[in-house]
Structure 1
Amino acid sequence: MSSSPLIRPEFEKYEKVPANVFDTAKIASKYAADEIASLIRDKAAKGEQAVLGLATGSTPTQLYDELVRMHKEEGLSFENVVTFNLDEYYPMEPDSIHSYVHFMHEYLFDHVDIKEENIHIPDGTLDREDVYDFCQKYEEKIDALGGLDIQILGIGRTGHVGFNEPGSSINSKTRLIALDSLTILDAASGFFGVENVPRRAITMGVGTIMKADRIFLMAWGEGKAKIVQKAIEGDITSQIPATFLQKHENVEFLLDDASSAELTRTKTPWLVGPIDWTDELLRKAVVWLSLYLEKPILKLTDEDYSEHGMNDVLIDIGRAYNVNIRIFNEIQHTITGWPGGKPNEDDTYRPERKSPGKKRVLIFSPHPDDDVISMGGTFIRLVDQGHEVHVAYQTSGNIAVFDDEAIRFADFVTDYHESFGLENEESAELFEEVRASIKNKKPGEVDSDEVKTIKGMIRRGEAKAACRYVGIPDENMHFLDLPFYETGKVRKKPIGPEDIEITKNIIQQVKPHQIYAAGDLSDPHGTHRVCLDAVFTALRELKDEPWMQECWTWLYRGAWQEWDIEDIEMAVPLSPEETDRKRKAIFKHQSQKDRPLFPGTDKREFWQRADDRTRGTAELYDKLGLAEYEAMEAFVRWKELD
């Protein structure tokens, strides 16, 4: 492949396709929207049609939001636009909430002035024998219009583009394809269970995509970082179809910071070329070198630094010994058994303040179990050390309860009245209504209000049981039920003023010295991200309150991912006994035990994920040469308001 002018020279050694990294997905989406709008306007001025290849899924939603905004506020017309969607599940009815027909109308087509006859989406209702002819005609329609001007792509964790799974050929055309098991698992949350996900799809081929004049591949979040690195820096292989894009002459990967995390320029930039050694980069580099060479930090030598692209560190700072001591001490100072601060002790090198000795603590938990899964040991430690701990459960978590659990609890209400001789015909009617509603519900259909309420009560009761086990009183448990979540669907409403106001109210009520919030943005449903935005927005609006000057915010991560060692600012070690207590607190969430409804691709139970994650963090500290602990929970401080 010839060198692309979009690849910066210093990246050419590693990157084989142009990649543009943005601070956020929203900014990257606006970049793509501006390019599409420019194409549409240029074509309209010439009296020509703009032919777009469109993608579905969570990745392009902000792109479509921006295009809709441009249409409504800037007069961007779609009358000259023709669209071809990448794919559709098979079989699939167009009016299903899971269909890409429904998706495209919900996010884009119903909000702009595109002509219905200019919309093309693979037909999931065809008889099997008619699929081949349809696919042939789909290709012919694209060719008749001169091909795609711009193709929008996402990337699956198998490396698929469209539904071109591993093994797809670079010359493949539009066709019916069997979905990879990982793709099916990734889609399970949207279908309310893996058993409801179609096993096949109709997809444009790689060859069809490669004929587009211009391609944007968009990827957001930590969960995409590893496959993005392989697609950009790896060898071309049919096992990762996205690598075929390296052969395209006008392709650009649009990434946010999180999805670029595994690229060499981000992960080990000192290998790419000379850099300005900030404190953060130096710590990152020393941690990487220690783990890469499997040598404790204090055993690293001048030769180790010189042989791994870090010779300028020795020139700027001095001998390896000096660098090692500095970074070793920084990491050692992150370790504390006093997450609320240790009273009456020198706190110069402690991550938390000693005063006040007894703090008001507010833990935000996106779902009713994230608190104990993600920071259960720290939760227990804060309570044991006498702090006033409150928990704010941001959502009901009602979509993550199996139907049979709702029937069981509705049955309990009926049996309760019968067993105690209480007359209540409504309880029996409720049970019948719930059972009938669930029996008649189609796969993936939204629950009735009664069923949603029961499922929410199940999650609430489990959260109360866990809090009581930890040792906080009922009055310190707060159930916010943020409105954005209460759609009954996996797709939620955008965060709104009511969500922010509810969040502000609980913060004002508690006036905490410490806030803990979920910074785990790899949550496959996106709920954690929205909940964190609500907390951040509320804190920004409250920043001028006098008591806010004493409020520190710590971010935890949970069932999906942990902070990188070099980023950790507070590490709370857990003893074997505390690890066991944390596990028992997680067990109180019985509806999520054994088989959570939306496990993602990780089949481990949540308590197993939590155990493995905290033990893994402790092992990494041990490998760096720090003290050896049973487990560790890690936190990063949010300092925007400092």
Structure 2
Amino acid sequence: MTLNHQEIELIDSFEQIAVDIYPTAKDGSKAVAQEIAALIKARQAANQKVVLGLATGSTPKYLYAELVRLHKEEGLSFKNVITFNLDEYYPIEPDALQSYNRFMKEQLFNHVDIPLENTHVPDGTIPKEKVKEFAAEYEAKIEAAGGIDLQILGIGTNGHIGFNEPGSAINSHTRLVTLDNSTRMANAFEFSNMSLVPRLAVTMGLSTIFKAKRVVLLAWGSHKSKIVQRSVEGHSTDQVPASLLQQHPDCKFVIDEQAAEDLTRNKEPWLTGDCEWTPKLRRKAVTNLALKLNKPILMLTDRDYNENGLNDLIVQYGSAYELNIEEFNGLRDTITGWPGGKPGAQLPSHPERSEPLKKRVLIFSPHPDDDIISMGGTFIRLHEQGHDVHVAYQTSGNIAVTDEFVLRYIDFAVGFEDMFGIDRSKSSQVLADAKAFLASKKPSQKDSPEIRAIKGLIRRGEAKATCRYVGIPEENIHYNNLPFYETGLIEKAPASQADIDITKELIRKVKPHQIYCAGDLADPHGTHKVCLEIIFAALDQLKHEEYMKDCWVWLYKGAWQEWKINEIEMAVPMSPDQVRQKRLGIFIHQSQKDVVPFQGTDSREFWERAEDRNADTANLYDQLGLQKYAAMEAFVRYHFM
């Protein structure tokens, strides 16, 4: 949608900070990298230093990767660059896997020609009584360098910048802070369990950040959309520290389309000027209005539309009655108990084709439990309705198994051999070595290959048991074990053609009529996103093969969130008994129960998240005036041809 001058002015009335929106995080990161490169080159031409303030975490990874590429492929030099990082956990050793000192070396410093003496990251090892002295020295070093020319920021889901949590004073300086529990939970995926996440951190203060000549804040993904909207369009308040950037003289947010979802220009674009009323935008406007007014769609009136900035839509349709009928029928037609198509029925508005009657279905599951958690009801129904269902577990999921669970299995294996007098001369040493390794394992130490193999075997066994529970034959279970995942660390390797080739080979083998895959880009440690990109790449390389003309791709969300009601193209309802059946299938994954690894800011178990999410979807359909169901699983179709 092209914005005219009037639309820009109307957007400015909502957005109090300049916002640049890019299709993807990579696109936005490249744009910021070009800005940084231009600044470095301009200072080099003037024989001057440039001072950068840098952030850590998953947000700036693409930015640093692009800066490294610019150095290696285009000769960008960092010899005149001085850097100061925002923060560091406390206490933490600089070589710990979760240390931001280590992060910066691995992501940037070790790959460019920046003098290491020019890099500064807060020290997580200094005695507590000397932190104030260190903080003052850190501030003095920034001043001595001439101040920060360009500060890169990320944003927490509670609005923190650096580790300045809600309530931080705008005049705060570098200091030791207590981390909010939501921040610790969000960062728990970096640690083997929640208890190991530091409760303290050393961070630049808001005053330090505000002294930067220019600030660029990066935000990627739909899970950041609400806090981006509050920061950009809400009141400037210390309860949302990022919103205080409204007061900075030169600040810009660079975000992707998903992080921009809740900005008024995207959520309610009709309020920011004239817009083109596409079917998708019309569905969004009607459903948003009905939910906002707590009315069924068929009860909306001309006055409701006129008083909420939707007069143009009514003018186009003539009356609310005609518009309501069309959108109600459209939503009704997304509901089906036949996700593989209804046999013998010619229903042009049905989400799926009725032919062929028996479809080959390939469900891609990023981890060994996403199939049952995210689409368990549909999974079971596809099998019960006679389709040839295959499941592909894309990764081993080994890092999500606790050490305690491994010890439980080792004790069982040893006890089993002892009980039946089995000669364990070959296995005993492996089990003994594994147990000894766990006994001496340090919090920052990655698992040995043997431990990773045991953890992978545990998850494979649970996945196989789930398929057995559903009724899937063993020959229809596929373990891809994609190489990108097998680093033994939270940080994964980049996806490669090897990952794509494994995926292509399976698709060629099955020749599916339906593919289901996780379209959930809010997965906090990124595996879903990488797995989806691998599938998309495989589909792109296979799309000219004859059998692909009959293949439809459906995207489900993961455990973290659901599709918006206006996005849903297929909704599969479940009865209370089917909800219980799905729950029991999730319970099979015992290694993931009770304590959820990498849970982000949500402390609920996976089965609770799934049930709440599915019930919420059903309730939304009910609120809009459609049939009332116990639960619903939702899907969006991906068009790759």
After TM superposition, is the score higher than 0.5? Answer: yes
Deviation of 1:524 after TM superposition, in Å, equals 0.7
Per the alignment, residue 620 of structure 1 pairs with 620
Per the alignment, residue 61 of structure 1 pairs with 61
Per the alignment, residue 261 of structure 1 pairs with 261
Per the alignment, residue 486 of structure 2 pairs with 486
**Partners of 1:527 and 1:405 in 2: how far apart?**
22
**Partners of 1:249 and 1:242 in 2: how far apart?**
14
The letter for the 2-side match of 1:9 is E
CA RMSD of aligned residues (A): 1.1
**Partners of 2:91 and 2:605 in 1: how far apart?**
31
Deviation of 1:298 after TM superposition, in Å, equals 0.7
Give me the identity figure in percent.
Answer: 57
Per-residue CA shift, 1:478-527, capped at 9, x if unaligned?
01110100111111000011100000011011000000000111111100
**Partners of 2:53 and 2:17 in 1: how far apart?**
20
Deviation of 1:428 after TM superposition, in Å, equals 2.5
**Partners of 1:615 and 1:128 in 2: how far apart?**
48
Contact 2:297/2:624, CA 8 A, preserved across alignment: yes
Deviation of 1:166 after TM superposition, in Å, equals 1.1
The letter for the 1-side match of 2:98 is H
Contact 1:261/1:267, CA 8 A, preserved across alignment: yes
The letter for the 2-side match of 1:232 is V
Contact 1:413/1:427, CA 8 A, preserved across alignment: no
Q: Compare 116-125 and 284-293 and name the one that shifted more.
A: 116-125
Per-residue CA shift, 1:448-479, capped at 9, x if unaligned?
11111111111010111111110110010001
Per the alignment, residue 560 of structure 2 pairs with 560
Taking the TM superposition and a 5 Å limit, the aligned residue runs for 1:183-582 are 183-582=183-582
Contact 1:277/1:313, CA 8 A, preserved across alignment: yes
Q: Compare 419-428 and 487-496 and name the one that shifted more.
A: 419-428
Question: SS of the counterpart of 1:425?
Answer: coil
Contact 2:364/2:392, CA 8 A, preserved across alignment: yes
Question: SS of the counterpart of 2:187?
Answer: helix
Deviation of 1:426 after TM superposition, in Å, equals 2.9
Per-residue CA shift, 1:543-572, capped at 9, x if unaligned?
010000000000001211000010000001
Deviation of 1:444 after TM superposition, in Å, equals 3.5
Contact 2:543/2:640, CA 8 A, preserved across alignment: no
Question: SS of the counterpart of 1:428?
Answer: helix
Q: Compare 147-156 and 443-452 and name the one that shifted more.
A: 443-452
Deviation of 1:429 after TM superposition, in Å, equals 2.1
Per the alignment, residue 159 of structure 2 pairs with 159
Task: Say how many residue pairs are matched.
Answer: 636
Off by >6 Å, runs of 4+ in structure 1: none
Deviation of 1:439 after TM superposition, in Å, equals 1.1
Per the alignment, residue 85 of structure 1 pairs with 85
Per-residue CA shift, 1:106-164, capped at 9, x if unaligned?
00001100011111111111111221111111111111222111000000112111111
Per-residue CA shift, 1:153-186, capped at 9, x if unaligned?
0001121111111111111111111111111111
Question: SS of the counterpart of 1:602?
Answer: coil
Deviation of 1:597 after TM superposition, in Å, equals 2.2
The letter for the 1-side match of 2:349 is Y
Question: SS of the counterpart of 1:356?
Answer: coil
Contact 1:410/1:430, CA 8 A, preserved across alignment: no
Contact 2:192/2:402, CA 8 A, preserved across alignment: no
**Partners of 1:202 and 1:620 in 2: how far apart?**
43
**Partners of 1:399 and 1:565 in 2: how far apart?**
33
Structure 2: give runs of 5+ residues left out of the alignment.
none
**Partners of 1:376 and 1:98 in 2: how far apart?**
34
Contact 2:215/2:252, CA 8 A, preserved across alignment: yes
Per the alignment, residue 597 of structure 2 pairs with 597
Contact 1:15/1:233, CA 8 A, preserved across alignment: yes
Contact 1:514/1:552, CA 8 A, preserved across alignment: yes
**Partners of 2:156 and 2:300 in 1: how far apart?**
39
Contact 1:366/1:393, CA 8 A, preserved across alignment: yes
Question: SS of the counterpart of 2:313?
Answer: helix
Per the alignment, residue 131 of structure 1 pairs with 131
Matched, 1:40 2:40: yes
TM-score for both structures, normalised by structure 2: 0.98
Matched, 1:21 2:60: no
The letter for the 2-side match of 1:160 is H
The letter for the 2-side match of 1:208 is T
TM-score for both structures, normalised by structure 1: 0.98
Contact 1:223/1:522, CA 8 A, preserved across alignment: yes
Structure 1: give runs of 5+ residues left out of the alignment.
none
The letter for the 1-side match of 2:324 is N
Contact 1:407/1:431, CA 8 A, preserved across alignment: no
